Each structure stands twice: as structure tokens, then as C-alpha cells.
Amino acid sequence: MTQPADHLQDGRRRLGYSELFVSPIGLGTWPIAGMTSLNVNDDDSLATIEQAIECGINLIDTAHCYGLHGESEMLIGKSIKGLRERLVVTSKGGIHWDTQAVRHLDARPATIISECETSLRRMEIETIDLFYLHAPDPDVPVTESATAFARLMKSGKIRATGASNLNVEQLTQFHCVCPITAVQPPYNMLQRDIENDIVPWCLKHNVSIINYWPLMKGLLAGKIRRGHSFDPNDKRLTYDVFQGEKFESAQRLLDELDAIAKSLGKSVAQIVVNWTFNQPGIASTLCGAKRNWQIRETAGAMGWNLDDASRSRIVALLNQFQLHQGPFGRRSDRAREPR
């Protein structure tokens, strides 16, 4: 979807009714937290953030729980000194780890405010541009959680409010208490459920979508192919799309995307990401990376658009694969990672 003229600024998209403008690609910093990504180190992580900024990415996304001790936010704090005014920094509250590395949902207002203040200290900044409720807490009504965001907005500690991993009913309830600027759901070529409900809701209310998992944990980057040898500790093995017939079906899709990418002189990852951030309602798509070359490649998805023939071919392919395979990307243990 082409953004209206008043929603564009030097190729960047306006978030909702705010004065925040973001690049079509944002850097997702879950990988540098070292929680599930293998072989993470500070030097490469800092180089990745620096590379993202050099490539024209101005949206840096993190969360209070990205790292047992906030490693992601602290690395961001080191990277953005002297660059703060050029960037849109987003974070999330409502999830934390205990001393045994067990994840807890806690969206009580006092917790949300405390985690926001901790995030500000870690990143050594005065204001978080966009602060999300990371996930709904089954023990706390979302309307109650929303009161904390209204207070944070009034105090100037955040500039805009977001919600991640909420359904439409929860979004509506939250939005009535504290207006939402952006939502953050999973969305990619293989996971398109939000097109049925969240996207129409966002378009109706002028709420922007900043999606995560555009490359489906690396699968749609085109480099994990048939015969790939996974590390036994690789958490991706818990997802059905990396197993059996669904993995083979995804490989057949990648075979077709290979041909499209070759015809356009782009990589598969660039084709996939460009398609994603040009879908209705999407303001920016978060690309995770732990190495500078990874974000440099995906940043190459900006500055051009797929031609009509390629878009039509992709739509036909996705409809065909969705028809035969159903939903992709479910975890075999039904657990959910914080993202």
C-alpha cells in the first residue's frame, strides 16, 4: 500500500497521528540479547547497531526483557550516544525474568512504570519514543495496564504508546483508555492471520503496524535450505515450519522466490522484506540481526519497490501455499517467546 503524502517524509512513514517518522525497516534487537541466538558478542552487536544506522535505518526496537539483565538496552545506550535526535527508539514493558531465568508476565501499572524507568536508565535517554505493552497479562485487565501508559505519556517519559501481541478486543479496550499509535504483531509471508482482523482495525483507527518476524526466524531469508544442519540447541527446531512437510513446502516457495530475486537482481531476503513493508497498514518491519552484514543485506530492501508483475506472482504463490499447508510458524510445544 502506498502511504498518503502526508504520511511520508523523505521515504519515512508517519506512525499513526504522532510526529514520529520511521524507516520502512527497523532493527529488532532481540538477537543481540543473547537469550536464544547462538554466538552473540558485544563487539558484533555494537557493529550491527552502527551498521543499521549507517544504512538509513532510524527505528531501533528493544524491550525491558531483551536479555536477563537488559543487555539489549544497555548496548543500544552505548551505540546511540550523540545520535539520539536522529533515531526513533522503542521499547516494551510487562515481561521480566526472575533469578532462575523464568519468564513472567506482569502488566500491573506500577510494574510498567518501573520497567519504563529502568529502560530509560539503561539506555541513558530521557524519553522513549514509543513504549509498548509487551503482552497482555492474564491477571491484569488491559484497561488497567493502559492507565500506566497514560501516566507515562503525561509525565513525558514516553512520546507514544504501543501494544504488542494483543488481539483486537484487547486493542479496543486499551485504545479507549490510552490511544495507541502502533501495534507490534508477528507477520510474514507464511503468517498472515492479522490480515483478517488486526490490519482492518488498525486501518480504521489510523494505528500503524510495526511487525516482527518478517523473515520467519531466518527461514525466509533464503539461506536455510534443504539439508541444512541445525545446531541441536537451535530454538528454531521447536517450530513446525522447520520440520517435515511444512519445511519442504517452505522450500518450494523459496525455490520460486529465488527466481523472482534473480530476475530483479536482489536477494530473497530483500524481496521478502520489501513485499512485507508494502502491505496494507505496515509502517515498518523489524529485521533482527546479530551481525552487521545481516542488517546491511536486509537494509537493501529499502529505496525501491517490486514491479506489478512480481507482486502478482508472489500473491499467487502465497495463496497456493497457504491453501495447501494452512498456518505456518506454530511452536510444537505451544510456548511463546517474548518478542
- Identify whether 66 is a catalytic site residue: yes
Residue with cell 538477537: 31
* Per-residue H/E/C for 218-234: CHHHCCCCCCCCCCCCC
**119 grid coordinates:** 529502560
Of the candidates 108, 176, 96, the one whose C-alpha atom is nearest the C-alpha of residue 140 is: 108
CA distance 305 to 271: 9
| Cβ(89)–Cβ(79) below 8 Å | no
Residue with cell 505456518: 328
CA distance 301 to 272: 8
Q: Within the chain, where are the H helices? A: 42-54, 71-79, 109-123, 142-155, 168-177, 198-205, 244-264, 268-277, 292-299, 308-325
Cα separations in angstroms, 82 against 19, 48, 327? 21, 17, 44
**36 grid coordinates:** 536464544
Helices 109-123 + 71-79 axis angle, to 10: 40
Q: Which of 17, 66, 187, 239 is catalytic?
A: 66
Active site residues: 66
